[in-house]
Amino acid sequence: METRTQDTASFEVTPWEVRGKVDYRKLAEHFGVKLITESELEQIRKLAGGELHYLLRRGFFFAHRGLDSILQRIEKGQRWALYTGRGPSADLHLGHILPWMFAKWLCDRFGVELFFEMTDDEKFLVRDLPLEEANKYAYDNALTLIAIGFKPEQLHLIIDTEDIKYLYRIAIRVAKCLTLSTVKHTFGFTDSTNVGAVFFPTLQIAVAFLPTELYREETPVLIPAGIDQDPYFRLARDVADRLGYPKPCTIYCKFVPALTGEEKMSSSRPETAIYILDDDKTVKKKIMNALTGGQPTKELQRKLGGNPDVCVVYRYFQAYVDDDSLVSKIYNDCKSGNLICGECKLILYEHIVRLLQELRERREKAKDVLEYYRISTKFR
Amino acid sequence: METRTQDTASFEVTPWEVRGKVDYRKLAEHFGVKLITESELEQIRKLAGGELHYLLRRGFFFAHRGLDSILQRIEKGQRWALYTGRGPSADLHLGHILPWMFAKWLCDRFGVELFFEMTDDEKFLVRDLPLEEANKYAYDNALTLIAIGFKPEQLHLIIDTEDIKYLYRIAIRVAKCLTLSTVKHTFGFTDSTNVGAVFFPTLQIAVAFLPTELYREETPVLIPAGIDQDPYFRLARDVADRLGYPKPCTIYCKFVPALTGEEKMSSSRPETAIYILDDDKTVKKKIMNALTGGQPTKELQRKLGGNPDVCVVYRYFQAYVDDDSLVSKIYNDCKSGNLICGECKLILYEHIVRLLQELRERREKAKDVLEYYRISTKFR
């Protein structure tokens, strides 16, 4: 089962790495996922009471597996759940929270609950973070997650090393369906890989089946995630039938580009990303240094206008500013030469800083209530 | 790391299989374990207050790894613990309980506690037992274990699928030290093996380090087990240092022969073993059909005497009857021709049936108190 996507000519997307300029249409084809259609968007809009989240409106969420079956359940008033997760580390950046913001909207619109897995074990097994640190970051990252605005009844937080009892029994049933060969091939493991890394995918898959166990009724999940996580969920869909669980469905998000112009923000290169805990000065510096679609000089920009379609700064407006009228004004003013890059960046800075300040304030409050979000507080 | 012992000429011992006539001296050499010496037996006798368990006296426990370091700890009054386990199934037979009876003696003599792992996950992952059944047998087998006579403060019962939270954090640290290559080589896994079976050894190893975590002080374990389990504990000793745990020590038991004469009772061939839940009639039939070292006819037996040294029935006396004077009387009366096989078998039957009746009675009582033995009742 080959799910690593490699197009040596242009780009590579795996759970570990994104390289090159991603062609999302090709990527969807390669992974075998479906593009979201206009009529599906209309259906969501209708079901959501006439509103469409801006990340759907603007095509950030662009592909899926089985979205149609979730929409059918919504129409019929049947139970479903959301699931996403995070490999906790210090480097939580703006790219990571897009699916979380989207999930929050789904929770609000559809009264659905989010199961969220903090894979501190994976960070230790695969990424070489000390276990204690990974666990500490799980708690830290959870504060930002809660700061998105989830209510305790909307969000069920799973920390792998602490909540393993919810997962293990499902995971070994998944494990029995997966040979070494399959997992090696899917994730590119070799005989030098440690046995924990090889077992880990069963835990990421297990959460997809957990709601069905906890609610004791068929509860398929919809998983908002980066498309690089598809190999896990493709395996999950493969084994679901055999285990008597509903197939998990996915909805995939495009990457938010690096400030420096690469395809995706990188946790390991600070200059490419805006971290949630960056101070205002750092954020300003990073945005002011961002790659734009502007002209080489102020004069040329006034005269010829810029090219927002290839501009990282404009992409951030699209990704983080809900207000369509502002975003299209930015677009038009750039094109016409009315707006020069320095001014535009300051406007973005104001928006990003407001978002981060809000998140940081709410993070502080989250410290006192984190326990209410933990799965162990709510399910036996 | 080659720990499967294969001597194509005569015998094979792995965690999955025992075949051929086992030469225990060769086996010890092959596995790289030490034979227990007379002076070590004397040391144990002294430390135990002048008494030596009959399974030690008679050489059933014959080999070890690191026993000397445990004896040193006993001398110094330092903390240690016992650890053994069982892959639960319906087929609990007399062979299985030898290490448990020995462990009980150690608990009583040295005030030490036994950590006992029921590997219901392994039975599911490796042996194809349905998970629910394996779990049910874990509870069932635990009743027999308790029936050996352990007090709740002596025995801490771990059921893998239910008590995974005690093990997982240790297991992933073990897992990080074990490559696929090592585990494949040690246990003979291939790329067709499921990823759960490949991860499982980390859980069997994890229990060896659990007492150190629970008591928050260095607590090496002594593991009474069949020598076929050595590959697990050899790996455990290999990784202990790297993880900052004391090396686990082992003491290995010879197999109790099959009633039909093969080297080891087989769970899958009922006629070879006496099961704990066999009714008296079945036990009688099995013993009466057992292979002996007797002569072809009663007359020849009276005239020439039998050969207890190759007799399965005599071996059972050695394995299950503490009383030295009775066992040596059987030996001598057989040799002299005073005792014929039918009579001898009836004497054995009386002893075995008494043992089984006692176990079954205590099993009934154990049903009400099983919870007191569970690790979750005693440790957070």
Q: Do A286 and A274 form a contact (C-beta atoms < 8 A)?
A: yes
Mean residue pLDDT across chain A = 93
Put simply, the answer to whether A131 touches B165 (Cβ < 8 Å) is no
Instruction: For residue B56, give the nearest of B90, B102, B123, B124 by alpha carbon.
Output: B102
Does the pLDDT of residue A138 top 90, yes or no? yes
Instruction: For residue A215, give the nearest of A345, A343, A80 by alpha carbon.
Output: A80
Per the document, the length of chain A is 380
What class has domain A5-259+363-378? alpha beta
CATH no. of B270-364:
1.10.240.10
What distance lies between CA A127 and its chain's CA centroid? 19
d(CA A19, CA A359): 30
Does the pLDDT of residue B9 top 60, yes or no? no
d(CA A33, CA A237): 12
Set of chain B residues whose Cβ sits within 8 Å of the Cβ of A195: 175, 178-180, 183, 198-199, 201-202
State the nearest Cα–Cα gap between A185 and chain B, in angstroms. 10
Determine the 3-state secondary structure of A336 from DSSP.
helix
Q: Give the model's confidence band at A16: pLDDT under 50 very low, under 70 low, under 90 confident, else very high.
A: low
Instruction: For residue B221, give the nearest of B115, B68, B107, B105 by alpha carbon.
Output: B115
Of the candidate ranges A128-137, A331-340, A363-372, B8-17, the one whose mean pLDDT is the lowest: B8-17
**Chain B CB within 8 Å of residue A192 CB:** yes
pLDDT at A173: 98
Q: Give the model's confidence band at B10: pLDDT under 50 very low, under 70 low, under 90 confident, else very high.
A: low
Q: Residue A189 is which amino acid? A: F
d(CA B354, CA B371): 27
Does the pLDDT of residue A69 top 70, yes or no? yes
Which DSSP symbol is given to A103?
Answer: H
d(CA B286, CA B265): 12
**Chain B CB within 8 Å of residue A186 CB:** no
User: Nearest chain A Cα to B189, which residue?
Assistant: A180
Set of chain B residues whose Cβ sits within 8 Å of the Cβ of A124: 172, 176
**Chain A CB within 8 Å of residue B164 CB:** yes
**Chain A CB within 8 Å of residue B223 CB:** no
pLDDT at B1: 29
Q: Do A120 and A134 form a contact (C-beta atoms < 8 A)?
A: yes
Which of residues B128 and B367 earns the better pLDDT score?
B367
- Phi then psi for residue A255, to 5 deg, are -75, 150
B176's CB contacts (< 8 A; 6+ apart) are: A124, A125, A194, A196
**Chain A CB within 8 Å of residue B139 CB:** no
The alpha carbon torsion through A70, A74, A77, A78 (nearest 10 deg) reads 10
Put simply, the answer to whether B172 touches A131 (Cβ < 8 Å) is yes
Does the pLDDT of residue B191 top 60, yes or no? yes
Sheet-wide strand order for A11-14: A5-7, A11-14, A17-20
Instruction: For residue B137, give the nearest of B157, B120, B153 by alpha carbon.
Output: B120
Signed CA dihedral, B359, B360, B365, B371: sign only:
positive
d(CA A210, CA A246): 11
Q: Give the model's confidence band at B18: pLDDT under 50 very low, under 70 low, under 90 confident, else very high.
A: low
Work out the percent of chain B whose per-residue pLDDT is above 90.
Answer: 85
Domain residue limits, chain B: 5-259, 270-364
Of B172, B192, B194, the CB nearest to A196: B172
What distance lies between CA B106 and its chain's CA centroid? 14
Calculate mean pLDDT across residues A100-114: 98
d(CA A207, CA A216): 14
Of A125, A172, A184, the CB nearest to B191: A184
User: Nearest chain B Cα to A203, which residue?
Assistant: B196
d(CA A228, CA A5): 9
Of the candidate ranges A121-125, A208-212, B252-256, B266-270, the one whose mean pLDDT is the lowest: B266-270
Q: Give the model's confidence band at B380: pLDDT under 50 very low, under 70 low, under 90 confident, else very high.
A: confident
**Chain A CB within 8 Å of residue B175 CB:** yes
Of the candidate ranges A167-171, A189-193, A254-258, B149-153, the one whose mean pLDDT is the lowest: A254-258
Burial zone of A157 (CB within 10 Å; 0-12 exposed, 13-18 middle, 19+ buried):
buried
Determine the 3-state secondary structure of B252 from DSSP.
strand
Set of chain A residues whose Cβ sits within 8 Å of the Cβ of B191: 179-181, 184
Ramachandran region of residue A358, left (φ > 0), alpha (ψ -120 to 50) or beta?
alpha
Which DSSP symbol is given to B338?
Answer: S
pLDDT at A365: 97
pLDDT at A268: 75
**Chain A CB within 8 Å of residue B238 CB:** no
Put simply, the answer to whether A131 touches B190 (Cβ < 8 Å) is no
Set of chain A residues whose Cβ sits within 8 Å of the Cβ of B202: 195-196
State the nearest Cα–Cα gap between B65 and chain A, in angstroms. 25
d(CA B321, CA A179): 46
Q: List the beta strands (DSSP E) in chain B.
A: 5-7, 11-14, 17-20, 34-35, 61-65, 81-86, 114-118, 155-159, 221-226, 249-253
User: Nearest chain B Cα to A179, which residue?
Assistant: B194
Does the pLDDT of residue A270 top 60, yes or no? yes
User: The tokens of A198 are what?
Assistant: 């090889």
Put simply, the answer to whether A190 touches B169 (Cβ < 8 Å) is no
d(CA A172, CA B28): 34
State the nearest Cα–Cα gap between B210 and chain A, in angstroms. 15
Cα→Cα distances B334→B262, B322, B331, Å: 21, 19, 5
Please list, residue by residue across A117-147, b when 16 or more beta carbons sit within 10 angstroms of its beta carbon and e when fewer do: bbbbbbbbbbeebebeebbebbbbbbbbbbb
User: The tokens of B299 are what?
Assistant: 């007359």
Does the pLDDT of residue A8 top 60, yes or no? no
Set of chain B residues whose Cβ sits within 8 Å of the Cβ of A178: 194-196
User: Nearest chain B Cα to A199, which residue?
Assistant: B195
Q: What is the largest CA-CA distance in chain B?
A: 66
Q: Do B159 and B118 form a contact (C-beta atoms < 8 A)?
A: yes
What class has domain B5-259? alpha beta
Of B131, B169, B192, the CB nearest to A179: B192
pLDDT at B12: 73
Set of chain A residues whose Cβ sits within 8 Å of the Cβ of B213: none
Of B124, B175, B181, the CB nearest to A191: B181
d(CA A201, CA B110): 44
Of the candidate ranges A364-368, B3-7, B237-241, B257-261, the one whose mean pLDDT is the lowest: B3-7
d(CA B116, CA B82): 8
**Chain B CB within 8 Å of residue A242 CB:** no
**Chain B CB within 8 Å of residue A41 CB:** no
d(CA A62, CA A23): 12
Set of chain B residues whose Cβ sits within 8 Å of the Cβ of A164: 164-165, 168
Put simply, the answer to whether B180 touches A192 (Cβ < 8 Å) is yes
Q: Give the model's confidence band at A10: pLDDT under 50 very low, under 70 low, under 90 confident, else very high.
A: low
**Chain A CB within 8 Å of residue B196 CB:** yes
Q: Give the model's confidence band at B290: pLDDT under 50 very low, under 70 low, under 90 confident, else very high.
A: very high
State the nearest Cα–Cα gap between A197 and chain B, in angstroms. 8
Mean residue pLDDT across chain B = 93
Put simply, the answer to whether A172 touches B198 (Cβ < 8 Å) is no
Put simply, the answer to whether A178 touches B195 (Cβ < 8 Å) is yes
d(CA B255, CA B62): 11
State the nearest Cα–Cα gap between B31 and chain A, in angstroms. 23
pLDDT at B16: 66
pLDDT digits (tens, 9 = 90+) for A50-64: 999 999 999 999 999
Which of residues A131 and B9 earns the better pLDDT score?
A131
Does the pLDDT of residue A2 top 80, yes or no? no
Set of chain B residues whose Cβ sits within 8 Å of the Cβ of A242: none
Does the pLDDT of residue B5 top 50, yes or no? no
Set of chain A residues whose Cβ sits within 8 Å of the Cβ of B194: 175-180
Set of chain A residues whose Cβ sits within 8 Å of the Cβ of B185: none
Instruction: For residue B143, give the nearest of B376, B374, B370, B354 by alpha carbon.
Output: B370
Q: What is the largest CA-CA distance in chain A?
A: 66
Of A161, A179, A198, the CB nearest to B169: A161
- Half-sphere exposure for B189 (CA within 13 Å, toward CB): 27
**Chain A CB within 8 Å of residue B134 CB:** no
State the nearest Cα–Cα gap between A244 and chain B, in angstroms. 14
Put simply, the answer to whether B194 touches A202 (Cβ < 8 Å) is no
CATH fold for domain A270-362:
Tyrosyl-Transfer RNA Synthetase (1.10.240)
**Chain B CB within 8 Å of residue A357 CB:** no
Q: What is the pTM of this model?
A: 0.93
Does the pLDDT of residue A5 top 70, yes or no? no
Under 8 Å CB pairs connecting chains A and B tally to 112
pLDDT digits (tens, 9 = 90+) for B48-90: 999 999 999 999 999 999 999 999 999 999 999 999 999 999 8
Put simply, the answer to whether A195 touches B199 (Cβ < 8 Å) is yes
Instruction: For residue A35, give the nearest of A63, A60, A56 by alpha carbon.
Output: A63
Which of residues A5 and A94 earns the better pLDDT score?
A94
- Half-sphere exposure for A185 (CA within 13 Å, toward CB): 12
Does the pLDDT of residue A351 top 90, yes or no? yes
Cα→Cα distances B77→B47, B70, B72, B110, Å: 11, 10, 9, 10
